[in-house]
Structure 1
Amino acid sequence: MGKFKKALLGLVGIVVVASLVGGCGGSGQNKANDANKSDSSSTTQQQKSKQKDYAEADINVLLSEAKDNAAAANQNYKGKAVKIIGGHIGNIDSDVKYITIDGTAAKYTMIHIRCDVDAKDKELKDAVLALKKGQNVTVYGTIKEVGDIMGYSLKLDKVESAQ
């Protein structure tokens, strides 16, 4: 029985060593594959953001819904890609990290839409730098969160001047 245990232990040892060597040997190739996947996924991500189907939404309706029931608005809009029309620039952050969009109805002045600007997106940052406070705009992005005091938080994909 002693020889059997030694043989079994030796076999287990060989399997463990083989799996460690196999795991180490393939990790360099996996890292290279992961890097390629990362590069292609960032390109794919950019293509997807340009190909998103944005649901059109009027800013005054969105702000009214957040004021009346933020929980319901959060459930209805969180994670949704939207094209928000009818708003104007309320604030432009000095570090170009965000802009705020206000509605046109006076009773909604405390609630706004905060649009976060991706620091890596030079084209988007340049578009934001061309804006002026009070300018009418249309914004495209994905709603991240809805609150009853501050309003909406949006990941900005695109902003354009509105007529």
Structure 2
Amino acid sequence: MGTVAKGCLGAVLGLIAVVIIGVMIASCAGGSKDQGGKPAASSSSNAKQEQAKTYADADINVLIREAKTNAAAANKNYKGKDVKIVGGILGNIDSDLSYISIDGTNRDFSFLHVRCSIKSKNKELQDAVLKLKKGQAVTVYGRVTDVGDMMGYYLDLDKVEAAK
């Protein structure tokens, strides 16, 4: 091996070492982070955060009727809002526990429902869903993420409970 080849090899190895050291320093300095780059919250702080939320009461049949008559207005009124939806019937429980759907009692709007997404890291919520049965009356709490005239509402689920 010539002097030039040894020099190039040494430079490449040195560059690789600098990159590896830089990555190690960055990962140590970054602390615990989730996929979004935000500090990871403990489960107790998540529970406190959910308790601090104020949910607006909403009847599922009213929500569905509003989406059917004017989805754009319903989207403007509810998207991004935290709601407590009452009067719903559990329609579907996804086998992977990624969502549940809540139907209204008015069969005129049979395709419209509330699709409630379940975060995979929320084991407490998944356990609550496992105790429910299809056709059961439920109350759901969460944030509306979208409204459509064909399928209804999309909700990030915070809590679900059997209706009282």
Q: Same fold (TM over 0.5)?
A: yes
**Could you tell me which residue of structure 2 aligns to residue 47 of structure 1?**
48
Question: 1:14-25 to 2 correspondence within 5 Å?
Answer: none
Deviations 1:2-23 (A, max 9, x none): xxxxxxxxxxxxxxxxxxxxxx
**Could you tell me which residue of structure 1 aligns to residue 86 of structure 2?**
85
Residue 30 (structure 2) pairs with residue 31 (structure 1): yes
Provide the secondary structure at the position in 2 that maps to 1:38. Answer: coil
Runs (4+) off by over 3 Å: 26-30, 32-35, 39-46
Deviations 1:43-77 (A, max 9, x none): 64442222100000000000000000001100110
TM-score (norm: length of structure 1): 0.76
**Could you tell me which residue of structure 2 aligns to residue 131 of structure 1?**
132
**Could you tell me which residue of structure 2 aligns to residue 16 of structure 1?**
none
Deviations 1:95-131 (A, max 9, x none): 1110000001121211000000111000000011111
Residue 83 (structure 2) pairs with residue 71 (structure 1): no
In structure 2, how many angstroms separate the alpha carbons of the residues matched to 1:119 and 1:34?
17
**Structure 1: runs of 5 or more not aligned:** 1-23
Between the aligned residues of both structures, percent identity stands at 56
Deviations 1:10-45 (A, max 9, x none): xxxxxxxxxxxxxx9x9677524879x713587644
Select the structure that is richer in helix.
Answer: 1
**Could you tell me which residue of structure 2 aligns to residue 118 of structure 1?**
119
**Structure 2: runs of 5 or more not aligned:** 1-22
